[in-house]
Chain A
Amino acid sequence: MAKRRSALPTNTSDRIFDICNMAFMMIVVVVMLYPFLNVLAISFNTSLDTVKGGITIWPRDFTLENYKKILEYDTLLVGLKNSVLRTVLGTFLGVLCDSMIAYTLSRKDYKARKFVSTFLALTLFFSGGLVPGYMLVRDLQLMNTFWVYILPGMVSVFNIFIIRSFIDNLPISLQESAKLDGANDFVIYWRIILPLCKPVLATVALFIAVGQWNSWFDTYLYNSMSPSLTTLQYELVKILQNTNSTTNANAQSAENIANMVTPESIKMAVTIFVTVPVLVIYPFLQKYFMQGMTLGAVKD
């Protein structure tokens, strides 16, 4: 698509637009890169020197020691395994369920459409709170199981609406012709809608994957007594745990904790260690929502 567009002749105003746009994007790159480089730089700096502050994008006192240390944390490996598992499984199931519901909601002739979408939309804005949620998980016997990572969050209402708005924009004629061919609704969803939805499915997959990867609260609430079910992010949060708790702070316990606080540099090294895997998968998904569709099939 990009190639075809540039093949056409461009005029001066177009060229000015492009130059301004490029310049603007350069600024964006610089501004956006800074915080991440800062974390990276600190993670390669010795912890004793980091306390002095003032590190920007380059380590002042370079060392690999911080990374060597965190590789000795064997809980991180167990966490890595569970995090990968929950991310892969959770994303797969989530995309499947969300897109299926989204398709039914995009069908204007579906009688229960209004009921289902209202029923779902409401849940975005209320929650029963911590205690009932905890009791529910207890009563469903999900505590200290892996499934507590997958089941409660499997249906995401927000993602359903995102997918639906995408399907709404697809030409409807395809569906109708398929219907005339005698295909049932599931076949239309599976054969026609899903392939066309690649950009939005990639987006939703990214949202779910990052959400799964980053969540630690469920591990803490439900599985913290099962070391074999720990997740990478929970281990990170425990390491990052500081004395910055706002409540119940008193000198006595603050002193106890202060002696065990992890040095800043190691914290940043763990942060990088935990973030990099999710950054690595990004380009694979990116191509789907950056390239646009090769829309040979979608012609009215």
Chain B
Amino acid sequence: MKVKSKVISIVSAALLLMGTAACSNDTASTDATKAKSSKGPVTFTYFGADPVPTWNNMQDEVGKEITKRTGVTLKASYQVGNDDKVGLIASSGQYPDLISPKGSAAKMVDAGAMVDLKPLIEKYAPNIKKLIGNNWGRLKYSNEDPKVYFIPTYDAVGQKQFDAGGGFELQHAAVKEAGYPQIKTLQDYENVIKQYVKKHPTVDGKPTVGMSLIGSDWHFLITVTNNATGATGKPDEGEYSIDPKTHKATFHSRLPEEKEYFKWLNHMNDIGLLDSQSFVQTYDQYLAKVASGRVVGLADQSWSYGSAENTLKGAGKDELTYGHYPVTLNDKYKRHDFQSIGFNAGWGIGITKNCKDPIRAIKFLDFLASDEGQILNYWGIKDKQYKVDNGKRVIPADVQEQKTKNNAEFTKKTGIGMYNISMRYGDGMKDSTGNYYTTNFPENVVKNYSKETKEVLSHYNAKTWKDLFPSEKEFPVLPWGAAWSINASSNTEYGAIFQKAEDTAKSYVTKAILAKPADFDKEWDNYLKALDAIGVKKMEAEYTKLVKARVELWSSK
């Protein structure tokens, strides 16, 4: 065909043309601390790799105040959908002034796009410096490139948890009817559900559901596999379990002890206590079910089912809301929910080479890290969103109501909590006035409990759900911090195997859970075989290397 050859020749000409034009790279590198800094109003562009649906172009109250104090306006843009925008930004050289690339940090660093922050912080950012303390070693990018490109923003410094949000959940009514028994093992948990379902086969005319999961989308990780980790006495390390001594990483859902957990789910399905819709229903349908009050047991996180629980509260059905119990496979295991990750760095915000005024940018981040900036972000504006009574910061009741009723709306309007883009202190840390930095503190937790919740807790001699769980003092601090924030290997084969392993687990573990009990072992063996076939050992070896590298990096100064 003549046309075809014509087309081909044109295309190849274009290729030659574009090959040279498309790939220019800005490699000019200057010492950022020597740049000139301006004083007047300035605009910085910013890209964040996590969506922020409430972003309002700084037209919210806190945003306006930040602009007033610093002269800085952020033009922010956030990740939408699954496409890799950080990759595009890195390839095109169209870097924003500030970027928080999450797990894609390597792309920006490989492109030579990031500015070394250490000299800037030393010179211009006393507040950030204070927050870092003697943890500079943890901020280094890697053993080979020990510069500081990002300051951590995903974890707040010194964060303490005051309440449990995970574990296994049971409705207060079920626990009450069972006579407040000890709930420590899966057997205890199952007994409570079994008794209650037997007594109340229907709720408002619809069948009572023993235990429901959402295995149809990514919540699979939260409600199915993560619980296998929790119930077998391991901290949540994402999809891996890391040996504390050898630092060897294993894809956790293939471990023999977790098989026992899935076997229990299989048993629950067999006796009809596991919702048969668990792997089919959508998240909305799951929430609707929970909100109807007919699900006795959950294995979820409170942030995930919270909106359904709010509906129950709104309807005055506090007895059908949930408590969190430290359930394990058997009494050999101890739950590690509260094991500390220490000062966690890895993911965070950085300044790019395209930023015209890095000094101003670091000063801006430093303002957000100051006491003033943090209180603005956490509490809002004085005498509007909070008051000071006898030196104590308090949130007026009407503001608190707006906040609980419609958090998204409240955030959009006030901007509270939306400027977590610099370093900051976490829950439980106090400022120089003796007030907590954040609005989450022990007194508040108990204050927000319902009467029913308090009653249930009193039978277990506990003030909060956290008291039921082993405390963080029982465990050493994890030397690698949070495993999920280890920047994924740039080895692309690793990524593909990991994705495959996740897909395999989803499909095979589901099949095993729903199989007839007699077939469970057979299905499980198929799962292990399928994992071997895709090269799970290779993947684990690669990840083990990453963990070891992080431990080495973080123990340096």
Contact = CB atoms under 8 A, between A and B. Distances in A.
Q: Do chains A and B touch in the complex (CB under 8 A)?
A: yes
Interface of A: 47-49, 51-54, 69, 72-75, 114-115, 118-119, 122, 130-132, 134-135, 138-139, 143, 216, 220-221, 224-227, 234, 237-239, 241, 243-264, 266
B288 A225 contact: no
Contact of A249 (B52, B221, B409): B221
B285 interface: yes
A154 to B, nearest CB: 20
B85 interface: yes
Nearest to A245: B82
B291 A52 contact: yes
Given A115-B3, A241-B51, 8 more contacts: A47-B406, A131-B88, A138-B93, A143-B94, A227-B57, A244-B218, A254-B303, A261-B53
Given A115-B3, A115-B6, A256-B50, A221 B85 contact: yes
Contacts of B283: 244
Contacts of B478: none
Interface in B495-542: none
B77 interface: yes
B241 interface: no
Contacts of B4: 118
A29 B221 CA distance: 41
Nearest to A255: B303
Nearest to B22: A135
B83 A130 contact: yes
A256 B100 CA distance: 15
Contacts of A221: 85, 88
A118 B6 CA distance: 11
B390 to A, nearest CB: 30
Contacts of B288: 51-54
A225 B77 contact: yes
A251 B92 contact: no
Contacts of B391: none
B53 A260 contact: yes
B75 interface: yes
Interface of B: 3-4, 6-7, 18, 21-22, 45, 50-57, 59, 75-78, 80-83, 85, 87-88, 91-94, 96, 102-103, 154-155, 217-218, 221-222, 226, 236, 238, 283-285, 287-289, 291-292, 301, 303-304, 306-308, 310-311, 314, 406-409, 411-413, 417, 420, 482, 484-485
12 contacts: A51-B310, A130-B83, A132-B22, A138-B94, A143-B94, A216-B80, A241-B53, A252-B484, A254-B218, A256-B420, A257-B53, A262-B53
A249 B238 CA distance: 10
Contacts of A119: 3, 7
A263 B238 contact: no
Contacts of B218: 243-246, 249, 254
Contact of A52 (B96, B226, B292): B292
B497 to A, nearest CB: 15
A138 B26 CA distance: 14
Contact of B80 (A49, A115, A241): A241
A139 B21 contact: yes
Contacts of B93: 138
B284 A257 contact: no
- A224, A243, A250: residue with the most chain B Cβ atoms closer than 10 Å: A250
A50 to B, nearest CB: 9
A52 B291 CA distance: 5
Contacts of B80: 216, 220, 234, 237-238, 241
Given A53-B288, A130-B88, A258-B303, A253 B75 contact: no
Contacts of A143: 94
A169 B514 CA distance: 59
Nearest to B292: A52
B190 to A, nearest CB: 25
Contacts of A237: 80-81
Contacts of B82: 245-247
A248 B102 CA distance: 9
Contact of B284 (A47, A53, A118): A53
B92 A260 contact: no
A69 B311 contact: no
A219 B158 CA distance: 39
Nearest to A72: B413
A247 B50 CA distance: 12
A8 B93 CA distance: 71
Contacts of B417: 259
Contacts of B307: 51, 263
Nearest to B1: A118
A130 B288 CA distance: 38
Given A47-B406, A261-B408, A225 B311 contact: no
